[in-house]
Chain A
Amino acid sequence: MMQALPSLLIASLVLFPLMAAGVQVGVVLALAGMAGSAYLVGGWQGAVALPLIQSLDVTGSYTLMVIPLFIAMGSIAERSGITTDLFLAFYRWFGHIRGGIGVATIMTCAGMSSITGSSLAVSASMSKIALPELRRYRYDDRLSLGSIAVGGTLAIMIPPSITLVLYAIFASQSVGQMLIAGILPGVLLTALYLLKIVVRCHLTPRLGPGGPRHSLAERMESLWKVVPFFSIVTVIILGMLLGVWTPTEAAATGLVLVMLLGLMRRKLTLRLALDAALEAVIVSASIMLVVIGSLIFSNFVAMTGVSTKLADFIISLQLSPFSLFSLFVLVYLVLGMFLEATSILALTVPLALPIAVATGWDPVWFGVILVCLMEVAAITPPVGLNLFVMKASIPGVTLHSIYMGAMPFCIVNVIVVFILYVFPDIALLLPTMMSR
Chain B
Amino acid sequence: MDTHTHSDPAGCAARASGWSRLLRGALLLCAALLFALAFSISVDVAYRWFAGRSIVGVYEYSEVLLVALSFLAFAGVQGSGRQLNVDILTSIVRGRRKRGALSALDALAALVFFLVLAWTAGLDFGEAYELGLMGNGIVQIPMVLPLGLVVLGSLMMLITLAGQLRGALACLFGRDGRAPEAPAPRMDDGAGS
Contacts and interface: CB of A to CB of B under 8 A. Distances in A.
Secondary structure class of chain A's binding surface, majority of residues: helix
B45 interface: yes
Contact of A56 (B40, B67, B105, B119): B67
Contact of A378 (B2, B88, B90): B2
A34 B62 CA distance: 29
Contacts, number: 224
Interface string A203-231: 00000000000000000000000000000
Interface string B102-125: 100110011011001101110010
A10 to B, nearest CB: 15
Interface string B7-38: 00100000000000000000110111011011
Interface residues on B, range: 35 or more
A278 B37 contact: no
Given A23-B109, A52-B121, A340-B4, A278 B41 contact: no
10 contacts: A21-B105, A22-B88, A24-B83, A51-B113, A252-B38, A255-B42, A277-B32, A286-B83, A287-B1, A385-B3
B128 to A, nearest CB: 11
Contact of B1 (A25, A27, A163): A163
Given A60-B67, A249-B45, A274-B28, A286 B5 contact: yes
Contacts of A163: 1-2
B69 to A, nearest CB: 6
A31 B82 CA distance: 20
Interface string A240-283: 00000100110111011000000000000000011001111111
Contacts of B44: 249
A162 B3 CA distance: 11
Interface in A361-401: 378, 382-383, 385-386
B6 interface: yes
B105 A68 contact: no
Interface string A12-40: 00000011111111111011001000000
A289 interface: yes
A25 B150 contact: no
A117 interface: yes
Contact of A67 (B1, B2, B9, B28): B1
Contacts of A69: 34, 37-38, 41
A343 interface: yes
Interface of B: 1-6, 9, 27-28, 30-32, 34-35, 37-42, 44-45, 59, 62-64, 66-67, 69-71, 73-74, 76-77, 80, 82-91, 102, 105-106, 109-110, 112-113, 116-117, 119-121, 124, 146-147, 150, 191-192
A179 interface: no
Contacts of A64: 66
A18 to B, nearest CB: 6
Contacts of B41: 65, 69, 248-249, 252-253
A69 B38 CA distance: 7
The interface residues of chain B, by DSSP majority, are classed as helix
Given A56-B67, A61-B66, A282 B42 contact: no
Contacts of A60: 63-64, 66-67, 146
Given A248-B41, A252-B45, A287-B1, A282 B192 contact: yes
A22 B106 contact: yes
A21 B89 contact: yes
A119 interface: yes
A137 interface: no
Contact of A255 (B4, B38, B64, B109): B38
A282 B34 contact: no
Chain A CB within 10 Å — which of B2, B4, B77, B117 has the most?
A: B2
A18 B109 contact: yes
Given A55-B117, A278-B28, A72 B34 contact: yes
Contact of A286 (B63, B64, B82, B88): B82
